[in-house]
């Protein structure tokens, strides 16, 4: 058992970064990470917390009871009434009322976000955090829960309430904090970043979260993100209106946006192949007989690391400036949000993974996936250790109508109950073992240091070509 798990973790860390350039630059960093992971003896923690524990069984049984009796139905109800980001008033009302009934103190509108909240059950240290989300995707047919955020709240509440009741009943020190985070599927604003900057997450020792997936997985230890590092940027062009029969009397902002797309396509040939630049035209004029004097495009600009992403951003910004110059228009560049690498730790991921298997998760991926933070922004998971539970809850991929449909069936329900039980179990382990908390902290702070070394190494491997003046 010990040798097998250690070998799997070390093999995963050796291919942790996503591009050959990153892996080469991070060679020394990954060697140090291997030394760190060996010293943690993660397999022993897995064995320790896989042993029978009557008190933990009480907590996880209560989480299951809450899911079966009330919270699965609540998740189904939220699924049937989807609300997009920052408009989740009905969903938040349901979640907050339930937490209040179970004696959590709730603060609404944190970080100036009307549908964000914090619910606290205070009994001292350690402080155990749970992120819950509830926003739906934007679709051509309307809002839909194609990521099953509709049941993240019920899952997190089942774990929170089960553990809070046990802490109070046994007079065990520990606090539970539920973070209601709106608008995960859209920015601006980036809710978790605004909440982090406002100090909402201050003082929390660990954070857990669940998310729907089509296979039961956990990340390797290290640093990374599920969906690449992202800059969200809007390019707004301003022109001058005119009759389309005399277009020379105006300046066409829509043509500028079209030039922007063409300029980006021309620049792709000199960008690294892992680059992703994805945009939509959000404004393009009001009438075909009037020269559009305002147009806008919204882009997600992505790369596996933030260092080379800066070069890509500069190229896209220059493409916009060139489009404005070519069309006689003006452009405003608004970098309205960003998502960056987070940190994953094996001390939490492997113990949590052992729990999900114990409670009956299916479609299990044996080897760890790539390292990635438990929150999509990277901001929170770079500062606070945690784990994102990813248990099979759908036959389909994320952002699909089938995944929404599966949230209402046994495939979704079974996975949701496993999530709640495993989440409660891991939080119980963390709350009741000071040695375990110290091991998690040592791994997390060690990887934080290594991440800084990694980014310094990358600065040396992305030279910008020197372009001479023409003769």
Q: What total number of domains does the chain contain?
A: 2
52 inside domain? yes
User: Looking at the structure, do residues 348 and 199 belong to the same domain, yes or no?
Assistant: yes
| Per-residue confidence band for 246, with pLDDT thresholds at 50, 70 and 90 | very high
| Per-residue confidence band for 180, with pLDDT thresholds at 50, 70 and 90 | very high
What is the model's pLDDT at position 21? 86
Q: How many CB atoms lie within 10 A of CB 448?
A: 14
The predicted-structure confidence for 255-297, as pLDDT tens digits, reads as follows 999 999 999 999 999 999 999 999 999 999 999 999 999 999 9
Q: Does the pLDDT of residue 44 top 80, yes or no?
A: yes
The predicted-structure confidence for 50-101, as pLDDT tens digits, reads as follows 999 999 999 999 999 999 999 999 999 999 999 999 999 999 999 999 999 9
| Per-residue confidence band for 20, with pLDDT thresholds at 50, 70 and 90 | confident
253 inside domain? yes
Quote the DSSP letter at residue 251: B
Domain range for 103 is: 2-225+341-456
What is the model's pLDDT at position 13? 52
Give the strands of the sheet with 386-389, arranged side by side. 105-108, 117-121, 175-180, 127-132, 206-210, 386-389
Q: Which of 319, 339, 359 is the last residue of a domain?
A: 339
**Pairing between strand 342-344 and 276-283?**
unpaired
Percentage of the chain beyond pLDDT 90 is: 91
The continuous run of DSSP H or E covering 336 comes out as strand 330-339
Q: Which of 288, 312, 339 is the last residue of a domain?
A: 339
471 inside domain? no
| 177 and 189 Cβ atoms separated by less than 8 Å | no
Alpha carbons 191 and 193: distance in angstroms, whole number: 5
Q: Does the pLDDT of residue 3 top 50, yes or no?
A: no
Q: Does the pLDDT of residue 18 top 80, yes or no?
A: no
User: Looking at the structure, do residues 17 and 60 belong to the same domain, yes or no?
Assistant: yes
User: Looking at the structure, do residues 182 and 267 belong to the same domain, yes or no?
Assistant: no
Quote the DSSP letter at residue 109: S
Region 41-54: mean pLDDT is 98
Alpha carbons 193 and 433: distance in angstroms, whole number: 30
Alpha carbons 128 and 142: distance in angstroms, whole number: 36
The continuous run of DSSP H or E covering 256 comes out as helix 253-267
The continuous run of DSSP H or E covering 454 comes out as helix 434-459
User: Looking at the structure, do residues 69 and 153 belong to the same domain, yes or no?
Assistant: yes
The predicted-structure confidence for 394-430, as pLDDT tens digits, reads as follows 999 999 999 999 999 999 999 999 999 999 999 999 9
- φ, ψ dihedrals at 138, nearest 5°: -90, 125
User: Looking at the structure, do residues 400 and 270 belong to the same domain, yes or no?
Assistant: no
Of the candidates 295, 306, 299, 294, the one whose C-alpha atom is nearest the C-alpha of residue 335 is 299
What is the model's pLDDT at position 188? 86
User: Looking at the structure, do residues 221 and 238 belong to the same domain, yes or no?
Assistant: no
What is the model's pLDDT at position 12? 55
465 inside domain? no
Q: Does the pLDDT of residue 199 top 60, yes or no?
A: yes
Torsion of CA 137, 142, 146, 149, to 10 degrees: 50
464 inside domain? no
What is the model's pLDDT at position 25? 85
What is the model's pLDDT at position 24? 87
User: Looking at the structure, do residues 141 and 221 belong to the same domain, yes or no?
Assistant: yes
User: Looking at the structure, do residues 327 and 444 belong to the same domain, yes or no?
Assistant: no
User: Looking at the structure, do residues 90 and 147 belong to the same domain, yes or no?
Assistant: yes
The predicted-structure confidence for 433-452, as pLDDT tens digits, reads as follows 999 999 999 999 999 999 99
User: Looking at the structure, do residues 172 and 46 belong to the same domain, yes or no?
Assistant: yes
Q: Does the pLDDT of residue 6 top 90, yes or no?
A: no
Q: Which of 294, 310, 339 is the last residue of a domain?
A: 339
Q: Does the pLDDT of residue 8 top 70, yes or no?
A: no
Look at phi and psi of residue 413 and say left if phi exceeds 0, alpha if psi is from -120 to 50, else beta.
alpha
Question: How would DSSP label each residue in 132-160?
Answer: E--PBBP-TTS-B-TT-GGGHHHHHHHHH
Region 337-366: mean pLDDT is 97
| Per-residue confidence band for 1, with pLDDT thresholds at 50, 70 and 90 | very low
More confident residue, 84 or 11: 84
466 inside domain? no
Tokens linked to 268: 């792709």
CATH label of the domain that carries residue 444: 3.40.630.10
What is the model's pLDDT at position 23? 85
Alpha carbons 369 and 385: distance in angstroms, whole number: 18
249 inside domain? yes
What is the model's pLDDT at position 4? 57
User: Looking at the structure, do residues 301 and 387 belong to the same domain, yes or no?
Assistant: no
82 inside domain? yes
Region 323-346: mean pLDDT is 97
Q: Name the pTM for this structure.
A: 0.92
Alpha carbons 18 and 13: distance in angstroms, whole number: 11
Largest Cα separation within the chain, whole Å, is 82
CATH label of the domain that carries residue 332: 3.30.70.360
User: Looking at the structure, do residues 64 and 171 belong to the same domain, yes or no?
Assistant: yes
| 163 and 427 Cβ atoms separated by less than 8 Å | yes
The continuous run of DSSP H or E covering 405 comes out as helix 401-406
């Amino acid at each position: 058992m010990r040798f097998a798990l250690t070998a799997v973790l070390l093999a995963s860390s050796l291919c942790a970064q996503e591009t050959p350039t990153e892996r080469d630059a991070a060679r020394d960093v990954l060697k140090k990470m291997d030394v760190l992971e060996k010293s943690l003896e993660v397999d022993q923690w897995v064995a320790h917390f896989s042993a029978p524990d009557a008190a933990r069984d009480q907590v996880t049984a209560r989480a299951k009871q809450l899911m079966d009796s009330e919270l699965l139905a609540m998740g189904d109800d939220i699924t049937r009434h989807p609300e997009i980001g920052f408009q989740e008033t009905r969903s938040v009302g349901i979640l907050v009322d339930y937490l209040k009934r179970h004696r959590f103190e709730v603060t609404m509108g944190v970080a100036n976000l009307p549908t964000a909240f914090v619910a606290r059950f205070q009994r001292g240290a350690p402080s155990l955090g749970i992120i819950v989300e509830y926003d739906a995707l934007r679709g051509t047919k309307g809002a839909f829960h194609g990521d099953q955020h509709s049941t993240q709240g019920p899952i997190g509440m089942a774990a929170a309430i089960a553990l809070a009741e046990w802490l109070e009943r046994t007079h065990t020190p520990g606090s539970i904090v539920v973070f209601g985070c709106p608008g995960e599927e859209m920015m601006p604003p980036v809710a978790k970043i605004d909440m982090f900057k406002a100090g909402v997450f201050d003082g929390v020792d660990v954070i857990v979260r669940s998310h729907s997936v089509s296979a039961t997985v956990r990340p390797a230890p290290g640093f990374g993100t599920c969906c690449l590092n992202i800059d969200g940027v809007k390019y707004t062009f301003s022109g001058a209106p005119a009759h389309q029969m005399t277009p020379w009397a105006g300046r066409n902002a829509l043509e500028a946006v079209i030039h922007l797309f063409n300029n980006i396509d021309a620049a792709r040939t000199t960008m690294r192949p892992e680059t992703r630049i994805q945009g939509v035209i959000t404004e393009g004029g009001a009438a075909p007989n009037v020269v559009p004097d305002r147009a806008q495009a919204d882009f997600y600009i992505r790369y596996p690391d933030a260092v080379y992403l800066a070069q890509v951003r500069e190229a896209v910004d220059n493409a916009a400036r060139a489009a404005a110059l070519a069309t006689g228009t003006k452009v405003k560049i608004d970098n309205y949000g960003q998502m960056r690498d987070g940190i994953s730790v094996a001390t939490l991921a492997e113990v949590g993974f052992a729990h999900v298997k114990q409670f009956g998760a299916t479609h299990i991926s044996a080897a760890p996936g790539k390292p990635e933070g438990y929150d999509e922004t990277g901001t929170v998971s770079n500062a606070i250790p945690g784990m994102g539970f990813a248990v099979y809850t759908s036959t389909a991929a994320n952002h699909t109508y089938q995944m929404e449909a599966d949230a209402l069936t046994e495939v979704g329900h079974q996975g949701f109950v496993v999530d709640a039980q495993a989440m409660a179990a891991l939080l119980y382990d963390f709350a009741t073992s000071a040695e375990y908390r110290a091991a998690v902290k040592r791994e997390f702070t060690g990887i934080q240091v290594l991440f800084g070394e990694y980014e310094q190494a990358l600065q040396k491997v992305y030279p910008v070509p020197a372009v001479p003046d023409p003769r």
